[in-house]
Chain A
Amino acid sequence: MKLLAHPATHRVLGLVIGAVFLYASLDKIAHPPEFARIVYHYQVIGPSQSIPPLVPNTFAVVLPWIEAVAGLLLMAGVWRREAALLTAAMLVTFVLAVGSALYRGIDVQNCGCFTVGAEGRRAGWGLLLGDTLLLAGALALVAVPVRTSESGATAEALPAR
């Protein structure tokens, strides 16, 4: 726990997870229609008979920018716990979407993780493992306060500035 609370651990975790999220956002930001296609392939948030295209399209337009904002803040160390909570929420969403596709036997040939092109990675068990590891890192940033002194006081225990 001491290691997880160390400021350097938080900096490294923030840099790594932030870089992954920022990088993951770039191709999706550059190609919104192609990312929307991938969102459709998961068949989780539509479109369907009851869900209009507006829902998955808006998700596809907005999600990459939330990834980018959260990634930048994690890397910069600004609002780190809040950005980590947001990345954790996104990772839970990704795990549920991939798990749901696997369970229903839907072959999502490009997971939409880092690229929207044909070279993208298939949504499978390896992806679930990677997302789960990132989720563990993000949750550590959220749940373990940074230790700020040799006596072991944490940032949470200090008066707000």
Chain B
Amino acid sequence: MKVWRVAVLVGLGSVLGLVWNAASGRGLALARNVFLKDGDDVVVVADARARLERGALFLDARPAAFYQMSHVPGALPLPEDDFEPHFARIESRLRSALDVIVYCSGYGCEASHDVARKLKERGIPAAILHEGWPGWQEAGYPEKVGDAP
């Protein structure tokens, strides 16, 4: 067993991967979050809190059960996995809102991005809460439990 050979294999794989990423045309921007696309509007949690106090409408893109456990006060449920019926129920409210912010379960969650893009396709601009629900909780901002917004 020669440890330097293991290091060579790791090094070879790493170089091949980085070259392929740069030259294949299929690669990704290494420093950029892959959930984000051009045109996405992202808001950090402190700014989101300030916008809540100015009347922003929050949308919870997590599955409905998570909304019931706890959510941003005033937020409406718009789960990504059951989008259409929920959207139909709140469409008029969304169209009259001046500021809309969508959140989900944090950095590993893409539901808020998907919901924001679906809203944009329907002519409703919406920002994405960068840190998601965990960031909101960690900041110690208010929470609400149950079905009611």
User: Using a CB–CB distance below 8 Å, which chain A residues touch chain B?
Assistant: 29-33, 36-37, 40-43, 46-49, 52-54, 57-58, 60-70, 73, 79, 81-83, 85-86, 106, 142
A131 to chain B, nearest CB (A): 19
What is the CB-to-nearest-CB distance from A140 to chain B, in angstroms, rounded to a whole number? 14
- Give the chain B neighbours of A52 by CB distance below 8 A: 31
Are B16 and A65 within 8 A (Cβ)?
Answer: yes
**Which of the residues B10, B14, B34, B106 comes within 8 Å of A53, measured between beta carbons?**
B34
B9, B17, B18, B29 — most chain A CB neighbours (10 Å): B17
Contact A82 B2 (CB under 8 A): yes
Closest Cβ neighbor of A108 among chain B residues? B108
Q: In the complex, are the beta carbons of A30 and B108 less than 8 A apart?
A: no
Select the residue from B2, B13, B18 with max chain A CB neighbours within 10 A. Answer: B13
Q: Measured between C-beta atoms, what is the minimum distance from B83 to chain A in Å?
A: 16
22 contacts between A and B (CB under 8 A): A29-B20, A30-B26, A40-B110, A42-B108, A47-B33, A48-B107, A52-B31, A57-B31, A57-B32, A61-B28, A61-B30, A63-B17, A66-B10, A66-B17, A69-B12, A70-B9, A70-B13, A79-B5, A79-B9, A82-B1, A82-B5, A82-B6
A69 to B6, alpha carbons, bound, how many Å?
Answer: 11
Chain B minimum-CB-distance residue to A34: B34
Known: A41-B108, A43-B106, A62-B13. A86 touches B28 (CB 8 A): no
Contact of A57 among B5, B14, B26, B30 (CB under 8 A): B30
User: Is chain A's binding surface mostly helix, strand, loop or mixed?
Assistant: helix
By the criterion CB–CB under 8 Å, are A85 and B10 in contact?
no
- B60 contacts partner chain A, Cβ-Cβ < 8 Å: no
Query: Which 5 pairs show the lowest CB-CB distances between chains A and B?
Result: A66-B13, A43-B108, A65-B17, A62-B17, A82-B5
A53 to B36, CA, bound (A): 11
How far does the Cβ of A143 sit from chain B's closest Cβ, in whole Å?
A: 10
Q: How many residues of B contact A (CB 8 A)?
A: 30
Chain A residues with Cβ below 8 Å from B30 are: 53-54, 57-58, 61
- Chain B residue numbers with a CB within 8 Å of A62 are 13-14, 17-18
* Cβ < 8 Å to A, chain B residues 23-75: 26-35
How many Å lie between the Cα of A9 and that of B29 in the bound state? 43
Looking at the assembled complex, report how far the CB atom of B37 sits from the nearest CB atom of chain A, in whole angstroms.
Answer: 10
* CB-nearest residue of chain A to B63: A107
Kindly list chain A residues whose C-beta atoms are within 8 Å of the C-beta of B80. Answer: none
| Closest partner residue, chain A, to B44 (CB atom) | A49
Given contacts A37-B35, A49-B131, A65-B20, contact A32 B106 (CB under 8 A): no
Q: Is the CB of A86 within 8 A of B31?
A: no
- Residues from chain B with Cβ under 8 Å of A64 in the complex: 17
Question: Contacts of A46 on B, CB cut-off 8 Å?
Answer: 107
The CA-CA distance from A52 to B33 in the complex, in Å, is 8
> Which residues of A sit under 8 angstroms from B29, Cβ to Cβ?
57
